Amino acid sequence: MRLGKYLAHAGVASRRKSEAIIASGRVTVDGRQVTDPAFGVSGSEEVRVDGTPIESEPREVWMVNKPLDVVSTADEPGRRQAVVDLVPSDLRLYPVGRLDVDSTGLILVTNDGELANRLSHPRYEVPKTYRVSMGRPVTGRMVERLSEGVELEDGPTAPAEVRRLGPDEIEVTISEGRNRQVRRMAEAVGNRVTALERTGFGSLRLGRLPPGRHRLLDEHEVGRLWKDAGDG
């Protein structure tokens, strides 16, 4: 395994940041400084970052149904609860991407930096599905415009999958990850979001997981996420 990938899997940082750490000369392998992120390791070597031994900890991926007012960070110094606090794990976990504090639903937390990077990077176009309640009835024209893509201040959106669930409720699937994108898309067609719940992330579905609860993904589900992110 490449040293950069080894550090990412050990929970040190994402692969890109791990490669930067290696290139800066902060990593030793069996006492020898290594600056090449492609340097091969088997896992039996003593790897240190800034003199601290690194052990490849078991990788975990959790699904969480994030409630309102919980923030999508690894820690929260303010009054709000951090999403990782909802998961009963002793490992160093962090969320995959973000879900706004005023949004609810499916978010992943993990210590697998490489998987997290691939799932959240726009290049891999991993789809995310949302159940959206609107402030006023959704017209056929609104659905059509959202499906085709709308113009936002940071450029046009890609086509989306949109279906009506009720008079003022739709399901939207997008493969982009812009800040508050679904809310801004609704405003672009003359409506507004009153409630936003993420119900799908790649091949995963929230299902009946109650708000505030969590579930450890099995190997099959994690393997499907890797396929969602274009690996295999």
pLDDT in tens, 57-109: 788 999 999 999 999 987 766 678 999 999 999 888 999 988 999 999 999 99
Cβ partners under 8 Å of residue 174, min gap 6: 127, 128, 130, 157, 158, 160, 161, 181, 182
Run of H or E including 114: helix 113-120
Among 23, 137, 116, 26, smallest CA distance to 74 is for 116
pLDDT digits (tens, 9 = 90+) for 208-218: 999 999 999 99
Whether this model's pTM surpasses 0.95: no
CATH number at residue 46: 3.10.290.10
Residues 216 and 170 in one domain: no
Of 54, 72, 91, the domain-final residue: 54
Q: Tell me the residue range of the domain where 132 lies.
A: 127-201
Of 75, 100, 228, 231, the catalytic one is 100
Dihedral angle sign, alpha carbons of residues 107, 109, 115, 117: positive
**18-25 long-range CB contacts below 8 Å, 24 or more apart?**
18/113, 21/49
pLDDT digits (tens, 9 = 90+) for 162-192: 999 999 999 999 999 889 999 999 999 999 9
Residues 77 and 186 in one domain: no
The pLDDT confidence band at residue 48, using thresholds 50, 70 and 90, is very high
Residues 152 and 183 in one domain: yes
Cβ partners under 8 Å of residue 98, min gap 6: 72
CA distances from 230 to 21, 36, 71, 127, 207 (A): 26, 25, 28, 12, 24
For the record, the structure tokens of 117 come out as 């990077």
CATH number at residue 166: 3.30.70.1560
* Exposure b/e, 89-125, CB count within 10 A at least 16 = b: eeeebbbbbbbbbebbbbbbbbbbbbbbbbbbbeeee
- Mean pLDDT of the chain, nearest integer: 92
Residue 131, pLDDT score:
98
* Known catalytic membership, residue 231: no
Residues 178 and 189 in one domain: yes
Greatest C-alpha distance within the chain = 66
Residues 42 and 73 in one domain: no
Number of domain units in the chain: 3
Whether 232 shows a pLDDT value over 60: the answer reads: no
- Report the percent of the chain where pLDDT is more than 90: 74
